[in-house]
Structure 1
């Protein structure tokens, strides 16, 4: 399940179903395939977008169970209304999914104002309404809409697919990772890394500056140094607080954490993966946060920070609430 809360009041012209469907990839952060998407709406106008949630299209025997679980998560946002979008090659035929979603939402006191299907969410894809109105048409390019332009200005990133998110965090060079694993073991045995937090923080600051300048290169020496730095809770937490304290995000942080997910062995990769999840939650990008948390969990089952962030992602908390929780009352 992918869920993405919206932090700022975001308005969408719900009178145009095509605009809603075109906005879905922007709200999720990637173009969904074979998916059920639920969009919570509310606010004084009824057009404020709240939580956007995506699940894989379930096979017929499991429709009700999957929909009930998805609606329960959506209702954590206390929506006044909801939109139901079915995406897939045969989406037009999945009336079973739409009927179940409408029934369960109404059981929760949430009215469905829009129910629409789309064969895909790329520009040129066919869409249509479920029900008697029989509206249909062709989608605009999601990246070229006014909604997308506003979201990009606010820091959103539109990726081609969920698989692209996974590639951000998956190891890319098994030989290099095994070599670095041996180097980390040797460094720990020889105590050849500095003990002072200041030295570790300096290494992180230099790497962040390089990442912000587009020079995010991780060789063996830097990999070992940064892995050693992030395994120190005081150092990792200091960087985490800096990420939360920067309204626009810490420059270079997301690029660096993703690179370290790809370049470090397990269990050391859990630390940058958790930090990547935190920066994603601070931007309201639930899809990336969940992918990063999955990577952290695989790398280090039971990792404490991962467990804490998983709770925030599953509620889900809005970015402002995540920031407040991480700062713990700090200004």
Structure 2
């Protein structure tokens, strides 16, 4: 087997079928397998996959159910079952383009080294691109940030996005995802940093395109997700004090001003984006404070 596609999923029955359909449409002669790790779903994910597998599919699909243990554990579980030389990680809400696999593998051929990592381009689906909040996430770099990346050029661990990434299995198994890391945010960046310290080279594969079909709303983001990101930023900073993660100096003062009561409401009267930005900093600092209070 040349490639193993590892997909963690949780209560995402509709999307996982669309994800599998996109993988079935791959234009490739490369042998690959798909490993789905169901992280404790309570919906009809298993039944949907079983029904989907009844059709004629030219690649093996392995379904693994486990108790809910978060994405890092799920991905590790998938890798343990993988037989491919190259690992590719996507989410169950990721719909890849028909040449996605070949684009990833082409980059690995161009940079033929065990420590090569390929980052693909992830965008919203066409219907979600029209949403103002998603446009804000793009322009602010909160979700993904590709603006300064160049095709086949090296980038850094800050762009280690596990929604669309590939690497050699032999290299990955020297690290693994941190299974003690239970909060949302930073776990992929932490792994990218660890790999970079050991000589990994991360390249941007601009034509390895995938679309993110996640109806992420303002309510999903605030307060829980951003607060969690603030908490994990503290954990990251503790583990890697040499990496500037937490805001300091003028940056910290600006964040504190934006986080003052009512500021995000006032700013939103002038610009929704400014309001969202201030709100983001408010809950980010809240998460930092909550985590630091437990030290």
Query: Structure 2-normalised TM-score?
Result: 0.26
Larger Rg: 1
Query: Structure 1-normalised TM-score?
Result: 0.24
Of Structure 1 and Structure 2, the greater strand share is in 2
